[in-house]
Structure 1
Amino acid sequence: MPEANAAVLEFLQTRRSRPAKLLRGPAPDREALLPLLTAAGRTPDHGKLEPWRFLVLEKPALKRIAEAVDSRAVAKNMPADDIAKARSQFDDTPLCVGVIEVQKPSEKIPAIEQTYSAGAVCLALLNAALASGWGANWLSGWPAHDQAFCKEHLGLADHERVAGFIHIGTASSAPPERPRPNIADITTWVDA
């Protein structure tokens, strides 16, 4: 039998995101955030393309983004509840890391594999934050998918898009456990 890392396996089997709306300060400073980004950067990456980058949004940037979300949503005639929800994602969080998918031309690595890698970076960063004792949550929302908004307010290029916003801070309370999938219902064993 291989040597197991029981502590890591226990963490992965019991990990639980903390709702972003319940995150408060303090958040990790730059020095504390670097090991989390380093851990996320070890994500599987077929072809070593690094089809992602990090966009760290600190409090002043978050306030600017929240105001821009509000303006963009009003211009799009969005319902007030949708505007408030999207704005609060940036207004209420102490720190947010945008994981930006950066599609790179490759004859060997399909675009979908680059997308999967960017998603894996989101989960790796989320888990690194949680394992370090921070509260963390992975969100997207309409601002992540509004290319014009992302280009103007996040500085994304045409070949980039938001894979996810990882919100990190101090959890103000522990959320209740939620239903999990029944592994037997979603597993097919193939032995021949």
Structure 2
Amino acid sequence: MSEITPALAFLLTRRSRPYKLLGKPVPSKGEVATFLTAAARTPDHGKLEPWRFVVLEEKALRRLAPLARERAIATGQDPDKAAGQFEVSPFAIVVVESPVESEKIPAIEQTYSAGAVCLALLNAALGAGWGANWLSGFASHDRAFVETGLGLAQHERVAGIIHIGTAKDTPPDRPRPDIGQKTRWIAQ
């Protein structure tokens, strides 16, 4: 089967859009529910669902910007860079890695599942025609920010922040990996 299906064609040409190029309108609650449903179909060894979502509308993003700036200053990070995504983006969904105690499923596999949710969510938004970008950044890894600003529990962490909106522009494509240089075949 060597046919390029529409789904494969999308994957071969998909491109994120920088959060700085995203504006209004943003997806409706119904569209977001569809994206979240698609993202939740990700591989999940043991059916543990070791992730959850925090949806950030524009006012919530703007509320988080000063906290990101404050935490960046307190820890010697670039405050403009830390706060930028919260000051500019019109809408975002935080994918929270929320590990589940399991004797059978290693923690790293739960981390992989949360990362897969990020990519599935990003691709769902892009596939529906929206502009989208997967970011993390300093604030995503700062315990004071994620616990105070996003309400994460001590055992949780941000897997990614998926910004979604209307793409104002299409940036030039970036260089892509040389698959031949990144691949090793083993026949026996």
TM-score range, shorter chain: over 0.9
Query: What is the percentage of aligned positions where both structures have the same residue?
Result: 60
Equivalent residue, structure 2, for 1:84: 80
* Paired residues of 2:55 and 2:93 also in contact (CA < 8 A): yes
Q: Measure the CA separation in 2 of the matches of 1:76 and 1:183.
A: 39
Say if 1:5 and 1:55 are closer, same or farther in 2 by CA, change over 3 A: farther
Match of 1:67, SS state, is helix
Equivalent residue, structure 2, for 1:20: 19
Q: Measure the CA separation in 2 of the matches of 1:92 and 1:170.
A: 13
Write out aligned runs for 1:44-55 (5 A): 44-55=43-54
Match of 2:46, SS state, is coil
Aligned-pair CA distance for 1:74: 2.4
Equivalent residue, structure 2, for 1:62: 61
Say if 1:58 and 1:158 are closer, same or farther in 2 by CA, change over 3 A: same
CA deviation map 1:93-120 (0-9, x unaligned)? 0101000000110011100000000000
Match of 1:191, SS state, is coil
Equivalent residue, structure 2, for 1:116: 112
Paired residue type of 1:183: I
In structure 2, which of residues 153, 156, 177 is the aligned counterpart of residue 157 of structure 1?
Answer: 153
Equivalent residue, structure 2, for 1:40: 39
Unpaired runs of 5+ residues, structure 1, are none
Unpaired runs of 5+ residues, structure 2, are none
Aligned-pair CA distance for 1:75: 2.5
**TM-score normalised by the chain length of structure 2:** 0.96
Match of 2:63, SS state, is helix
Q: Measure the CA separation in 1 of the matches of 2:82 and 2:76.
A: 14
Aligned-pair CA distance for 1:27: 0.7
Paired residue type of 2:52: R
In structure 1, which of residues 104, 107, 110 is the aligned counterpart of residue 103 of structure 2?
Answer: 107
Aligned-pair CA distance for 1:186: 0.9
Q: Measure the CA separation in 1 of the matches of 2:103 and 2:121.
A: 28
Task: Give aligned pairs, total.
Answer: 188
Match of 2:126, SS state, is helix
Aligned-pair CA distance for 1:5: 6.6
Equivalent residue, structure 1, for 2:5: 6
Match of 1:47, SS state, is helix
* Paired residues of 2:70 and 2:79 also in contact (CA < 8 A): no
Q: Measure the CA separation in 2 of the matches of 1:152 and 1:64.
A: 12
Paired residue type of 1:55: V
Paired residue type of 1:28: P
Q: Measure the CA separation in 2 of the matches of 1:33 and 1:109.
A: 29
Aligned-pair CA distance for 1:85: 1.6
Aligned-pair CA distance for 1:30: 1.1
Q: Measure the CA separation in 2 of the matches of 1:58 and 1:169.
A: 11
Match of 2:81, SS state, is helix
Q: Measure the CA separation in 2 of the matches of 1:77 and 1:115.
A: 28
